[in-house]
Amino acid sequence: MQVSNPNNVKIYNLSAGKSLPEWLSDRQRRSLQKQDIDVRRRIELLQDFEMPTASHCVGISPDGQYICATGTYKPRIKCFDTAQMSLKFERGLDSDVVNFQFLGEDYGKIVFLQCDRYIELHSQFGRYYRFRIPKYGRDMAYHFPSCDLYVGGVGSEVYRINLEQGRFLNPITTKSPDTNCCEINPSHGLLACGTTAGTVECFDPRVRRSVGTLDITLSNQFEDIHELPKVTALKFRDALNMGVGTSTGHILLYDIRSSKPLLAKDHHYELPIKSIEFQDSLNLVLSMDTKILKLWDRETGKAYTSIEPGTPLNDLCLLPKSGLLFMANEDQKILSYYIPALGTAPKWCSFLDNLTEELEESTAQIVYDDYKFVTRKELEELGLAHLIGSTLLRAYMHGFFMDNRLYNKAKTIAEPFAYEEYRKSKIREKIEQERANRVRLKKLPKVNRDLAEKLMDVKEIGTNKKKVKETATLLEDDRFSAMFSNPEFQINVNSEEYKLVNPVVSKLDKVRRKKQAKMEQFAEVSDEEGQNLSDSDSSDDEHTWTKELKEQHKKLRREAAQAKHAEYMEKKNAPKFYEIKEGVDLDSKGGGQKKLAKKSLAERLQDTQDDSVVAKSGSLGNRELTFTFRKSDREMKQLEKTREHHKERKNIRRSAGDITKTLKQKPKFWLGKRVN
């Protein structure tokens, strides 16, 4: 048993201690209890009060005699009899349980809301009936006077099932798209529904309509929160007081007659509240999220104590008029805590009051301390693969459990020099730590040596912490290692981009030199004077840098203009070539074209000697000349193709005319008689 003392309040963890594997027989368990003192000293409040993987819900019957818990995997329910402090029965289920409710005083009638939209009714012998709701449910509440079961979940409707008549009734419609939780006040039967819109809608089951809406977003607690808070937990303390838990980790206490909260408490974890309980003897509130359970004063909000088990929490069950509580969580064991300050232990475990006086503080040990989990690959490395299937290995999930003593022996045989290697690595680490204190020389890389040297100088003499941090990451970050090792990343000093950035680089060099000179010359100057000097120097540096940058731009523009002018002159002085038309003859001196231009039309026609020239003489002695220009070979070929095309079109027209004439002729037979 583990004892903690937060805020001077003793909390006893009854579930702390070693866990024994399920496959051990009773004889092996008894032998372990005799041999191992830790197993013998552990307290098992309820026999097998655990789940194979995780537990989802836990609750106690109205008569206080039976405790039921649901978990996985596989989905199941366990019922424990407090009179015998042992397991009453265990049943398997088809799917995980979201919530369950006792319909009677004991375990004889239980209803389960499952994650696959099914609702199961169980009696003493097992499952009695099973039906399905239209949409996924998130919470349910049972109204004892009318035997109505209210189920809220996805959608704006709260389904109403009458278990006496065995049928669905008209649902209750809310103003919100979804419902997260439902709670019925045991004093006057008011039904409260917490919605995703940040409202609590109250309904009267007698008239089945809304009688009031409480908007929690109007509280001042949510001014700094950007998202809309959702209602995730509800609990009535009495006829008028109500606690509301939100998705942002706030708990608001209300009087249902007022829209303003009486008190607001923040968990400061920004996790949704899972459950809320009230403790009347000390006037405390118990609020639980997935990380922690907090106990605080209902009037002032002052913290009383807290429990942080280290595993995600799912549900809370506080035994009435007692200091014993149970918490379902994402671990095998269902957590059990006893706080004597809240009340005495229940009658069925009254021995706790005597034990708590003698308990000492002890640390919880790891589950299955005497066994080691190994995979198949590790077994092959240890040379123990031949033990698969024997009693020395117990199959579990993707590996096996084996005794720690066997594992240590096999490890020593398989790796005899493991200790020597471990010892050498520790010595090497210690030597490296001592070397770190020595003075180190600068090791410049082969690529971009100048840049690396500048960055190192800035790191050494820099006064701006932000810039020093940036340069340090640039030199040490693996993402930029190729810039100082790969020759392809070598900076080209003659490139245009570098020339534009060069004033900036020169400015860095000047700033570095000035800082070095200042540190040497003005080492004893006060901080105020040094600040004034640095401000003036920085303004002068900025002015000179701007001037150098303008001069660099002018230089680049002059170089571009000179290159453009040189290209133009090269094109202008280049020799020109002309294309001569086909059929034109030029002499060696190039004057043939001019001679041809001086000839008359008749002389040109005689020189061509073309057959296309036709001469005619009139009756009055006049002459007429008709001629055509000579065509090129290409034009002649095109002309021949055109003529052939015209001929084909003529032939097609002729054949079409013959077909038309044939169709217009009358048939030789008409109505079975030959026509002459």
DSSP string, 597-610: HHS-HHHHHHHHT-
54 - beta bridge partners? 72
Predicted pLDDT at 73: 86
Can you state the angle between helices 465-476 and 449-461, rounded to 10 degrees? 140
pLDDT in tens, 27-44: 777 777 666 666 666 677
8-state DSSP, 1? -
How far separated are the first and last CA of the chain, in Å rounded? 130
Instruction: Output the CA–CA distances (angstroms, integers) from residue 627 to 446, 602, 634, 675, in the order listed.
Output: 86, 11, 20, 62
Report percent pLDDT > 90 for the chain. 28
Residue 138 has pLDDT above 50, yes or no: yes
In a 3-state reduction of DSSP, which class is residue 546?
helix
pLDDT higher for 462 or 175?
Answer: 175
d(CA 542, CA 257): 68
Percent of the chain with pLDDT over 70: 74
**Per-range mean pLDDT, top range of 126-135, 493-502, 528-537, 658-667:** 126-135
Lowest mean pLDDT among 207-211, 218-222, 400-404: 218-222
Residue that wins the pLDDT comparison between 483 and 604: 483
Evaluate whether 24 touches 45 at the Cβ level (below 8 Å).
Answer: no
Could you report the per-residue pLDDT of 481-503, keeping only the tens digit for each?
Answer: 788 888 888 888 777 777 666 66
Instruction: Specify the amino acid at residue 665.
Output: Q
The stretch 192-206 carries a mean pLDDT of: 91
Residue 582 has pLDDT above 60, yes or no: no
DSSP 264-289: EEE-SS---EEEEEEETTTTEEEEEE
Mean pLDDT on 355-370: 56
Query: Which tokens is 88 given?
Result: 């009453």
pLDDT band at 462 (very low <50, low <70, confident <90, very high): low
Angle at 478 between CA 477 and CA 481, to 5 degrees: 100
543 Cα distance to chain centroid: 49
pLDDT of residue 461 exceeding 60:
no
Separation CA 182–CA 140 (nearest Å): 6
> Has residue 585 got a pLDDT over 60?
no
Q: What is the pLDDT of residues 155-166, one digit of tens each?
A: 999 999 999 998
The DSSP H or E segment spanning 294 is strand 293-297
**What are the residue ranges of helices labelled H in 574-671?**
592-598, 601-608, 633-664
Picking from 152, 102, 104, 108, the residue whose alpha carbon sits closest to that of residue 128 is 108
Lowest mean pLDDT among 13-22, 530-539, 574-583: 530-539
Q: What is the pLDDT of residue 584?
A: 54
pLDDT at position 150: 94
Q: What is the reported pLDDT for 49?
A: 87
More confident position, 146 or 433 = 146
Q: Residues 61-77: what's their mean pLDDT? A: 92
Q: Which of 41, 43, 2 is nearest to 352 (CA)?
A: 43
- Scan for tokens 């095109």, then name that residue: 638
Residue of higher predicted confidence among 442 and 453: 453
* pLDDT (0 to 100) of residue 39: 63
| Distance set, CA 565 to CA 435, 555, 560, 562, 568 (Å) | 63, 16, 9, 5, 5
**DSSP H or E run through 364:** none
Q: What is the pLDDT of residue 593?
A: 56
pLDDT given for residue 613 in this prediction: 56
pLDDT on residue 288 = 93
pLDDT top residue among 418 and 121: 121
Q: Which residues contact 458 (CB under 8 A, 6 or more apart)?
A: 467, 468, 471, 508, 512
**Hey, what amino acid is at 618?**
G
Neighbours of 448 (CB within 10 A): 19
CA-to-CA separations, 198 to 192, 402, 412, 600, in angstroms, rounded: 13, 52, 61, 108
What's the mean per-residue pLDDT of the chain?
A: 79
* pLDDT reading at 428 higher than 70: yes
Mean pLDDT calculated for residue range 546-566: 78
Stretch 7-20: mean pLDDT, rounded? Answer: 79
- 661 pLDDT above the threshold of 90: no
CA of residue 19 relative to chain centroid, distance: 35
SS3 153: strand
Q: What's the whole-number mean pLDDT along residues 576-603?
A: 60
Report the pLDDT averaged over residues 620-648: 75
**If pLDDT is split at 50, 70 and 90, which confidence band does 530 have?**
very low
Residue 526 has pLDDT above 50, yes or no: no
Two structure tokens written together for 48: 């097998």
From CA 159, how far away is CA 193, in angstroms rounded?
12
On whether the CB atoms of residues 100 and 140 are closer than 8 A, the answer is no
Residue 521 pLDDT greater than 50, yes or no: yes
d(CA 90, CA 47): 12
Give the Cα-Cα-Cα angle 86, 87, 92 (nearest 5 degrees).
Answer: 170
Edge-first strand listing for the sheet containing 394-396: 371-375, 399-403, 394-396
